[in-house]
Amino acid sequence: MITHSENPAIEVHDATVSYNRRPVLWSVDATVPQGKMVAIVGPNGAGKSTLLKSMMGLVPLASGHIEFFGKALDDVRGRVSYMPQREAVDWDFPTSVFDVVLMGRYGKLGLFKRPRAADKQVAMECLKKVGMEQFAERQISRLSGGQQQRVFLARALAQDADIYLMDEPFAGVDAATEATILQLLAEMRSVGKTIVVVHHDLQAVAQSFDWVLLLNLRLVASGPIAEVLTEKLLQETYGGKLNLLAEVSQILHEEKKKSREKRKV
Amino acid sequence: MDPNFRYSVLGAMLLGAGAAAIGCFAFLKKQSLVGDAVAHAVLPGICVGFLLAGTKSTLALFAGALVTGWLSLEAIRIIRQRTRLKEDAAIAIVLSVFFGAGILLLTMIQHSDNAQQAGLDKFLFGKAASLVEEDVQIFAVMTAIIFVLLYLFYKEFKIAAFDPQFSKSIGLPMRLIDFLQMALIVVAVVAGIQAVGVVLMAAMLITPAATARYWTNSLPKMIGLAVSMGVVAAVAGVAFSTVAPKIPTGPSIVLAATFLFAASLVLAPERGVMARAARHRRNYIRMQDENVLKTLYHLGEESGDFLKSWTEKEILARRKMPPVFLKNSLRRLRRQGFLKESAGAWTLTPEGKRRGARVTKLHRLWEVYLTKYVNIAHDHVHDDAENMEHVLTPELEERLEQLLEFPGTDPHDKTIPY
């Protein structure tokens, strides 16, 4: 059941991604409506992060293409913000909370230019929005998981984009941080921003989001929450047994391994 | 001053500074071994450069070094992407193959009758003691190139090292940035190997960065410190090998850098071994003291009189610990005003009773929490509570109280004091 939206923020056309010839996303065809909170949901290894990364060109598409506001990413890069998973960076890096948030301005600065006073002001305001202004000078290794996510969120806010792609912003956060982040996302939506979030908590998705993409190697369903979060579709997404697609994917992977081993002999 | 000595010192300082600065980024990207691979991989390039130019023209040697340095990184990348080998194996293979090829070429050149080749072998182990003015000029240019480019691309290098995915997502030209960084490592290596040699070059890139990281949490300060360490090590190394002429300069520079590293490892505040041990010891002492106060509180509870005096023997009978520890602890607590002593017997002061009660409370609250919320049997919760009673912060204490709604007793039916 795939519902498409008119005049979408993001349009994914027949996107296929493989790692080492092993497909991790099969022919995903989806649209993300503008000004909505959209959740990408699916079991572990379903390709949720990969879908976000392929949107940002961080992993190559084997086929298909992706458009933002009907244009290629390079034409609208300044309007798209990407927040990686918390684990993607080394939190022992010698830098402060404020410096990390300031990185959100780098995309607007271009090569060689240093952040100006105005950029610093934006960064500070964003830190305030996530309730971390008193931590501005703190070394980032001395933050809790929830504080790290807030810092990442502040950096995304500092990008001042129209579309926000966030990879598991709720992973490892305490209840207070979850509430803060959800409230911020709702505020962003109310001024027309489009927010796409990889999320694990189905209940939270049902309560706070507008639109959902159910993913398990392929797009199982996509559309408004009420239509998509049905038992049948969830069963299809999370269904206990390996589905056929996963098995085929596994076979392709094994084949490759075998042929490589043969070559080695 | 002996001009020879002056050139050695100047040359070594320049190399130390440049290598340390760019080394910081290799270190932070966790590519320390990549620096080593590049250092080894420039040797065949230098030989090919010499063979093509027919002379030891710096430009030719440098161009050759840049090409093979870049090739080695590409080889590592391809091996990682196309095979199941991990990065360490890829680096080991590439490093040894390139270095082997370099030695092969070098031996061939040395056995040819090209008179120009004399001195090429210095690239292998360095020649810091015999640097001349021209060498120093070249070093100065190379070091200047490193610093200017680092200054220009500081922002990009920093974000690329911290968060490569985000950097790519905002459209930074990551391939260019990676290539530039590699090129700067090659520049530092080409300058450096003439002083310390290929084999020891990795130490000049990484050791100052690793040393500086111990002292600061700020990247600009870290780079500044690493550069200072590189310079100090260079000067110390050259000075040492001048005093003891049998000691070669390159190795003594590296030893000086290693000495600075070892000293930082031990002495640095916060991250150093001694600071960590001191922190550990402070915590341990605090736990000891809290345990003594808790024991006195328990004795008070059981006897119904919190202001009763107890001898050391009585305390030890209630809680086992080495008698010396108890003596020290009692004396410390008296000094801090938690205990009073008269005629060898010890009494809690009001502050001492309060603190003993708090530790007891935290212990019992945690036991309630574990049995109620974590479903641990009540006879298994004591040991964990022994630790948590010293760790729980006032904020957590408050949250526990609210979550458990101020329970009256713990799972062993002991009263929880508030």
Q: How far, rounded to the nearest angstrom, does the alpha carbon of residue A129 sit from its chain's CA centroid?
A: 20
- Amino acid in position A192: G
Cβ pair B6, B169 in contact under 8 A: no
pLDDT band for position A246 (50/70/90)?
low
Phi/psi region, residue B304 (left: phi>0; alpha: psi -120 to 50; beta: rest), is left
CB contact under 8 A, A88 and B165: yes
pLDDT band for position A131 (50/70/90)?
very high
pLDDT at position A245 is 57
Q: Which of B169, B174, B176, B395 to mutate to test the interface with A (most CBs of A within 10 A)?
A: B169
Q: Which of A184-188, A202-206, B27-31, B249-253 has the highest mean pLDDT?
A: A184-188
The CA distance from B209 to B365, in Å, is: 47
Q: Could you tell me how many helices (H) and strands (E) chain B has, helices first?
A: 18, 3
The CA distance from A76 to A161, in Å, is: 10
CB contact under 8 A, A114 and B30: no
**pLDDT means over runs of 10, chain B (418 residues):** 80 91 93 86 90 82 87 89 87 94 90 75 71 84 94 94 95 90 86 78 91 94 96 91 82 91 92 91 92 93 89 90 91 93 90 92 91 85 88 85 87 86
Chain B residues with CB under 8 Å of A80 CB are 169
Structure tokens at B345: 């017997």
From B152, B155, B162, residue closest to A89, measured CB to CB: B162
| pLDDT over 80 (residue A260) | no
How many residues in total does chain A contain? 265
Cβ pair A66, B150 in contact under 8 A: no
From B155, B159, B222, residue closest to A94, measured CB to CB: B222
Dihedral through CA B267, CA B270, CA B271, CA B272, nearest 10? 20
The CA distance from A18 to A27, in Å, is: 11
The CA distance from B333 to B46, in Å, is: 69
pLDDT band for position A93 (50/70/90)?
very high
Give tens-digit pLDDT for A138-177: 999 999 889 999 999 999 999 999 999 999 999 988 888 8
- Enumerate residues 6+ apart whose C-beta is below 8 A from A116: none
| pLDDT over 60 (residue A242) | no
CB contact under 8 A, B165 and A94: no
The CA distance from B107 to A27, in Å, is: 57
In sequence order, what DSSP letters do the residues of B254-266 get, joined into one string? Answer: HHHHHHHHHHHHH
From A77, A81, A88, residue closest to B163, measured CB to CB: A88
pLDDT at position A265 is 46
- The DSSP element (H or E) to which B275 belongs, if any, is helix B273-303
- The DSSP element (H or E) to which B4 belongs, if any, is helix B3-28
Give tens-digit pLDDT for B60-91: 888 898 899 889 988 998 998 888 888 889 99
The CA distance from B314 to B355, in Å, is: 20
Q: What's the gap in Å between the CA of A89 and the closest CA on chain B?
A: 6
- The DSSP element (H or E) to which A250 belongs, if any, is helix A244-264
In sequence order, what DSSP letters do the residues of B150-199 get, joined into one string? Answer: HHHTHHHHHHHHH-HHHHHHTT--HHHHHHHHHHHHHHHHHHHHHHH-HH
How many residues in total does chain B contain? 418
Strands, sheet with A63-68, edge to edge from the N-terminal-most edge strand: A22-32, A10-19, A63-68
Give tens-digit pLDDT for A41-55: 998 888 999 999 999
CB contact under 8 A, A94 and B166: no
Q: How many of the other CB atoms lie within 10 Å of CB of B319?
A: 14
pLDDT band for position A6 (50/70/90)?
confident
Residues of A engaging B, defined by a Cβ cutoff of 8 Å: 53, 56-58, 74, 77, 80-84, 88-90, 93-96, 99-100, 103, 106-107, 109, 111-115, 139, 141, 155, 159, 260
Cα–Cα nearest to B162, from B32, B27, B36: B27
Cβ pair A103, A159 in contact under 8 A: no
The CA distance from A17 to A27, in Å, is: 8
Cα–Cα nearest to A98, from A129, A141, A135: A135
CB contact under 8 A, A106 and B155: yes
The answer to which of A61-75, A143-157, A239-253 has the lowest mean pLDDT is: A239-253
